[in-house]
Amino acid sequence: MDQHVDVLIIGQGPAGLSAAIYTARAGMDTLILGCAPKVAGDYAIDNYFGFTETISGKELIERGRIQAAKFGAEIRCERVLSIHLLDDGSFEAVTEAGTVHAQAIILATGVSRVRPNIPDLARFEGKGVSYCVSCDGYFVRGKPVLVVGEGNFAANQALELLQYTLKVTLCTQGKEPAMNADFRRRLEEANIPIRTTSIQALEGDKFLEQVRFDDGTTLDVDGLFVAMGEASSSDFAYTLGLTRNGVFLEADCEQRTNVPGVFAAGDCVGRFLQISVAVGEGAIAARSAIDYVKKRRKQP
């Protein structure tokens, strides 16, 4: 299948769906590719503007999909394998099902976090296992929690959790601690112990209640925060020549990357990793993409 669109959006998370609402509403032929994002699970969200009642991530994403489709955006669960810039300034995306040609690209791919090899980790995601302190720290106020990771990112997450609870432990999952001296000092001053054992099992009925380590010991916890670092934000950065800042894509205040016609929004740009921020960045990226496509249409 060979398809031509004005705007191709990669990622069906809050940033991608928000962008699609704006581009489709502006009359742009819009296609969203990607599959259900991690947030589209049984995560309880109670800090999103306008929702006085807690809403699940799954329901919030589904509402976004319905709204984007209402304005004419096409949404498919389909993986994009590569994107190439063509000589005429347009883009060719190779997917599992064919080829898509687009005048503009919006990357809303999120970031792939390193997942530790812990049995039943997926079963407790949204039920005690989290990847975001800012998102879920509120739910473990005053409760014992465990942060999994060996580097500065894990140390920082552990320290941020002190806003919600003083019962914080850090586990390096069998690795040597790799955080720098400053973070080691801050952890010590905050009385956050570091365990170098590995987690063998997660236990609990409906929610996480306890972790069991390979030395036979156990720890009662109500939350486990995975902070093993973020993997590559997008392999597309390499083929398109996008400027990166570590694992994130660089984008200006208009969500423009260094490649004309390519815009990025949401977690993949590495700002405040919150749904509300992703939605706003998606809207800005859409506006920039709309302006870009309109200018291309005027070119002889």
Residue 226 and residue 171: Cα distance in Å, rounded?
10
- Chain position carrying tokens 């398809």: 3
Token digits of residue 216? 């036979």
Q: Based on the fold, state whether residues 248 and 215 are members of the same structural domain.
A: no
Q: What DSSP letter does each residue of 196-256 carry, written as one string?
A: -S-EEEEE-SSS--EEEETTS-EEE-SEEEE-S-B--S-THHHHHT--EETTEE---TT-B
Q: Give the end of a domain, one of 226, 244, 277.
A: 226
- Is residue 287 in some structural domain? yes
Residue 262 and residue 240: Cα distance in Å, rounded?
9
Residue 268 region, left (φ>0) first, then alpha (ψ -120 to 50), else beta?
A: alpha
User: What's the DSSP call for residue 150?
Assistant: S
Q: Based on the fold, state whether residues 8 and 108 are members of the same structural domain.
A: yes
- Chain position carrying tokens 């999909």: 65
- Is residue 236 in some structural domain? yes
Q: Based on the fold, state whether residues 13 and 107 are members of the same structural domain.
A: yes
For the chain, how big is the Rg over CA atoms in Å?
Answer: 21
User: 225: which residues sit within 8 A by CB, 6+ positions away?
Assistant: 130, 131, 132, 133, 136, 145, 146, 147, 148, 157, 158, 161
Q: Give the end of a domain, one of 167, 195, 226.
A: 226
The torsion defined by the Cα of 32, 252, 267 and 69, in degrees rounded to 10, comes to -20
Q: Based on the fold, state whether residues 175 and 249 are members of the same structural domain.
A: no
- Is residue 117 in some structural domain? no
CA distances from 63 to 30, 106, 147, 234 (A): 18, 20, 32, 26
CB 221 within 8 A of CB 145: yes
Q: Based on the fold, state whether residues 193 and 271 are members of the same structural domain.
A: no
Structural domain range at position 103: 2-112+230-298
CB 134 within 8 A of CB 274: yes
Token digits of residue 46? 């109670």
Handedness of CA 32, 57, 242, 24 (dihedral sign): positive
Lowest mean pLDDT among 163-167, 177-181, 251-255, 288-292: 177-181
For 168-196, what is each residue's pLDDT tens digit?
A: 999 999 999 988 888 899 999 999 999 99
Given a cut of 90, whether residue 240 has pLDDT beyond it is no
Given a cut of 80, whether residue 83 has pLDDT beyond it is yes
CA distances from 264 to 109, 249, 255 (A): 8, 7, 6
- Is residue 18 in some structural domain? yes
* Predicted pLDDT at 162: 96
What residues pair up with 86 in beta bridges, in sequence order? none
131 alpha carbon, distance to own chain's centre: 9
Q: Based on the fold, state whether residues 83 and 213 are members of the same structural domain.
A: no
Mean local confidence (pLDDT), 103-119: 84
Using a cut of 0.75, tell me whether the model's pTM lies above it: no
Q: Based on the fold, state whether residues 261 and 290 are members of the same structural domain.
A: yes
Q: Based on the fold, state whether residues 211 and 237 are members of the same structural domain.
A: no
User: Which contiguous run of DSSP H or E holds residue 57?
Assistant: helix 57-70
Residue 218 and residue 213: Cα distance in Å, rounded?
6
Q: Based on the fold, state whether residues 170 and 107 are members of the same structural domain.
A: no
Given a cut of 70, whether residue 233 has pLDDT beyond it is no
User: What's the DSSP call for residue 125?
Assistant: B
Q: Based on the fold, state whether residues 219 and 237 are members of the same structural domain.
A: no
Q: Based on the fold, state whether residues 128 and 107 are members of the same structural domain.
A: no
For 262-295, what is each residue's pLDDT tens digit?
A: 999 998 898 888 899 999 999 999 999 999 999 9
* Predicted pLDDT at 272: 86
Give the CATH number of the domain where residue 290 resides: 3.50.50.60
Number of domains making up the chain: 2
- Is residue 202 in some structural domain? yes
Q: Based on the fold, state whether residues 237 and 270 are members of the same structural domain.
A: yes
Given a cut of 60, whether residue 234 has pLDDT beyond it is no
Q: Give the end of a domain, one of 226, 255, 286.
A: 226
What residues pair up with 249 in beta bridges, in sequence order? 244
User: 127: which residues sit within 8 A by CB, 6+ positions away?
Assistant: 42, 204, 206, 207, 208
